[in-house]
Structure 1
Amino acid sequence: MPTISRTIAAAVVGFAVGAGAVGGGFYTYDHLNPSAAGQTAPNIHQYATVASAPATLPLGPDTISNVVQRVSPAVVKIVATVPQQVNINSSPFFNPFFGSLFGGNLLPQTQIQTDIGTGFFFNPAGYILTNDHVIQGASKIQVYVKGYSQPFTATVVGTDYQTDLAVIKINAPKPMPSLVLGNSNTTPVGAWVIAIGNPYDLNDTVTVGVISAKGRPLTIGSRNYTNLLQTSAAINPGNSGGPLLNLAGQVVGINTAVSTQGQGIGFAIPTSTVDQILPQLMKYGHVSRPWLGVFITTDNASMKSQYNLPTASGVVIAYVEPNSPAAQAGLSAGEVITAVNGQTVSSANQLQTMVERQSVGSQITLTVNDQGHIFTKTVTLAQEPNGPITMPSPSP
């Protein structure tokens, strides 16, 4: 049904089932299926020190400086070497400002880009928490630790594109100072926080502000964050991956992004997300999430008459990711999913939740309506890809 497929794809905002995506971006899960990996989920207490309650400290003129002095040895500078493919014109008459006067071929060449970020030890054995985007695509990761003249070469333990978290490790010559993970859920709006990092390669920069808001959504490229802490503590390029601390020196967030449209608007991943993601990165190297591989509409009822759909119940498939479980099962754009394992589906969120409750490798039975022809498909859910998944623009 090419006509329906094209018009639906052009009209809808995709909801990628199993990819945790809303609007073609990514959703930071507030809950992960404990059996998603087919085993008992690892616990954060196995890998990091977690505060049982915020410590009470007397406030005074030296409070912030005392916290900084105490936690700074655990904060590190990360330098990632990222090779990038670029096309260079082979013509000797090529001018980079005006192009080639006499043609010439474009030859792929590798250029080296150096990215600077921040991280911190959360485990004395040399384990460091940072952002996935700090080390993404890196061929070499160097970590600068206070008290050592030469950087350490780090290896990647685990990454999660969706939540933008990563764990790397150095071969520590001795137990490293490590930070305590605090509770972002109990950190109120208006609470004082401290950010430490390396903005613009200005090492060990300290900024102070408050938690301005919680649960903020933010889209950066192909990432869609939905549960960020907003802070007035200055955050700039190079701060990414560094700790956002309360006045007890406990980490309540991972500094991640800054708004380029205003001042004093920074964002951090809350430790409530870290608590769920970090154990899986440590144990499996990735987060196990079941994946169906379809983008679906969020409002089928209003589209029924507009696009002559067969039913107002269920959700419409707008796009099927190639080589996904849905594609292997023969699902197509324009078809309507009306039930999962016999349970009626009435919304995109409901279908997403049904998939999340399954485990990787499990089978589900979908009831599908294709222009009035009702049939079932058995789909084996796969591991969600650890990278961007987007719906392509529809062809004219």
Structure 2
Amino acid sequence: MEDNNKFIDSNHEEQQQPTKTEHNQEHSMSWRSQPRYIDVGPSSQLQSEPYRKKRTSGKSVFSAFMAGAIVVGSLMFVSDKMDLFSGGSHPLAAGTPVASVTGSNNGGVKTASVSDMAGTNTIASISKQASPAVVKIETKEKAKSTKGSTIYDDPFFRQFFGGGGMQQQPSQQEDQSGELQPAGIGSGFIFEKTGYILTNEHVIDGADEIDVYVQGSDEPYKAKLLGNSYDLDLAVLKIEGSDFPTLPIGNSDNAEVGEWVVAIGNPYDFDYTVTAGLLSAKGRPISISDTKGTRNYKNLIQTDAAINPGNSGGPLLNMDGEVIGINTAVNSEAQGIGFAIPTSTISSVLEQLKNNVAIPKEPSPYIGVSLQNLSQDMLNDLKIDSTEGALVADVQRKTPAFEAGIRPYDVIVAVNGSKVATTTELTKKVQAAKVGDKLTLTVIRDGSKQDIVVKVGDKNTSSDTNK
């Protein structure tokens, strides 16, 4: 690439003029950032051709006239078929967003807005209709002299934002007076006119007081937490009142990759911020851990709509103005990678959250061992000749692995005949199994291989928290 594309840095003192060949290569290789030019012939031939004055004959005039008539006629036919001059709009392709002209004619000036040709709503109209139902949530906590570590304390997990990313940690000099102090900022939306609000659990986690700001109201409403789920990262709040603006909850299963979506929230306390982008992918799994455990999101919507700390709990809307997800997390180390909990997950538990009914935990496959990756200095002691596999560091009593006969210092090298090279690979295979399945683990113990059958258990029914 360096030989064919020799660009001189703008700070270089001496710049050489490119040859004609290099000039053509430069145009052909940089067309993404510059207008693309198409040569009609070798420039040297064009420049060297002498100018000759030619006679104009009757035949030449007639030929030119006929050529012009054909061109004009063709243009008129194309413009009529495509309705280029009638003000109508035509989609480039089904569902392709284009600029549609809207508004009244004020001296020939009209406003343009991006719209989805599959529907009639514009992003501007969706924002206008939806924003009144989007709320800002501020949480407060009682002051403490010390505060335990949270998700915000780990730099790795700061790439996923929690309660607005505006967390303020009390200083060591604070007393035990119990004074409320700001804890975080997030978003939510009203889904029933009597004041029911849906948001993320991590937005209100640990809050002693929840203030909800509704558009058009100067004073916040005091919200009551009705129900919440740590595992699903969902919570329902209630504020007193009636006839609040609401947002309809749509079906995320009907949304397709490549569709336009709109996010509304309060990033970094910038109230009612609207961003738009594409639905980038569906069914994304991520895991986020904190001092309370690990949230394993399994079916998230991925979008490139700008999402930032404070957007948590806010709605992700389709072009019909329906909520198809709740904005939940973003990878700050990347651009355009945000995640939302789909309404397919929300709808199945919404009534339980409203009525504070416990939501049964989804079965979590486990066998009950602690694992460690192998290193070169372990090979002699374990009588193995490769670092591929997973070392069993510990086995909890009364777990599936213990009952099957797995012991510390066993090296698991295969599951159902399929090799595993690391602890991560082994963990994924266990988690991919169903509770009650039987797995044949190939282990090396004291230099000898043997197969041990383990029945997969449910971690949620056990006090054990290991794999």
The TM-score bracket by the shorter chain reads: 0.5 to 0.7
Could you tell me which of 173, 179, 196 is aligned with 2:264?
196
Match of 2:133 among 61, 74, 85: 74
Residues 1:142 and 2:211 are matched in the alignment: yes
Rounded to whole Å, the distance in 2 between the matches of 1:77 and 1:298 is: 44
2: distance between equivalents of 1:137 and 1:146?
25
Q: Does 1:267 align with 2:339?
A: yes
Contact 2:368 2:466 in 1 (8 A): no
Structure ranking higher in helix proportion: 2
> Unaligned regions of 5+ residues in structure 2, if any?
1-115, 148-171, 419-425
**Structure of higher RCO (CA pairs closer than 8 Å, 6+ residues apart):** 1
Residue aligning to 2:82: none
Report what 1:294 is aligned to.
Answer: 368
User: How many residues matched?
Assistant: 301
**Separation in 2 of the partners of 1:277 and 1:366?**
36
Match in the other structure for 2:228: 158
Give the SS at the match of 2:302: strand
Instruction: Give the Å deviation of 1:286.
Output: 3.7
Aligned-pair CA distance for 1:198 = 0.8
Displacement after TM superposition at 1:77 (Å)? 1.2
Matched, 1:284 2:284: no
Query: Using a 3 Å threshold, how does the CA distance of structure 1 residues 202 and 281 change in structure 2: closer, same or farther?
Result: same
1:180 matched to 2:248: yes
- Once the two structures are superposed, the pairs formed by residues 377-388 of structure 1 within 5 Å of their partners are 383=460
Residue 160 of structure 1: how far off its partner (Å): 2.3
Please point out which of 237, 256, 261 is paired with 2:309: 237
CA positional deviation for 1:137: 1.5
Match of 1:256 in 2: 328
Q: Quick one: which amino acid aligns to residue 127 of structure 2? A: V
8 Å Cα contact 2:138/2:183 also seen in 1: yes
In 1, Cα distance between the equivalents of 2:454 and 2:118?
63
Alignment of 1:1-396 (within 5 A): 59=119, 63-83=122-142, 85=144, 87=146, 112-148=181-217, 149-161=219-231, 163=232, 165-218=233-286, 220-222=288-290, 223=295, 225-278=297-350, 281-282=353-354, 284-290=357-363, 294-295=368-369, 307=382, 318-319=393-394, 333-334=408-409, 348=427, 351-352=430-431, 356=435, 383=460
CA contact (8 A) 2:249 2:343 kept: yes
Quote the sequence identity (%).
Answer: 38
SS of match in other structure, 1:284:
coil
| Offset of residue 328 of structure 1 | 10
The alpha-carbon distance between structure 1 residues 263 and 308, as it changes in their structure 2 partners (threshold 3 A), is: same
Alpha-carbon distance change, 83 to 318 in structure 1, aligned in 2, over 3 angstroms: farther
CA offsets 1:35-91 (integer angstroms, 9 cap, x no match): xxxxxxxxxxxxxxxxxxxxx98656x622222222223221111123575549xxx
Structure 2: how far apart are the matches of 1:57 and 1:133? 37
Pick the structure with greater CA Rg.
2
Q: 2: CA distance between counterparts of 1:280 and 1:317?
A: 40
- Output the TM-score relative to the length of structure 1: 0.57
Distance 2:138 2:408 in 1: 43
Higher strand share: 1
Structure 1 pair 262–327 and aligned structure 2 pair: CA distance change class (3 A): closer
1:176, CA displacement in angstroms? Answer: 3.9
Cα pair distance change 1:230/1:153, threshold 3 Å: same
Matched-pair contact (CA < 8 Å) for 1:298–1:348 = no
CA RMSD of aligned residues (A): 4.9
Shift of 1:254: 1.2
SS in 2 for 1:238: coil
Task: Give the structure-2-normalised TM-score.
Answer: 0.50
The answer to whether the 8 Å contact 2:316/2:324 transfers is: yes
Unaligned runs of 5+ in 1: 1-55, 89-105, 339-343, 359-363, 392-396
**1: CA distance, partners of 2:399 / 2:350:** 27
Q: Which moved more, 1:205-214 or 1:270-279?
A: 270-279
Corresponding residue SS for 2:135 = strand
Aligned partners of 2:443 and 2:398: how far apart in 1?
Answer: 20
Match of residue 150 from structure 2: none
Partner AA of 2:309 in structure 1: P
Per-residue CA distance 1:116-147 (angstroms, 9 max, x = gap): 00111234443322112211121222222235
Over 3 Å counting, the alpha-carbon distance change for 1:66 and 1:171 in structure 2 is: same
Please give the secondary structure, in 2, of the residue aligned with 1:269: strand
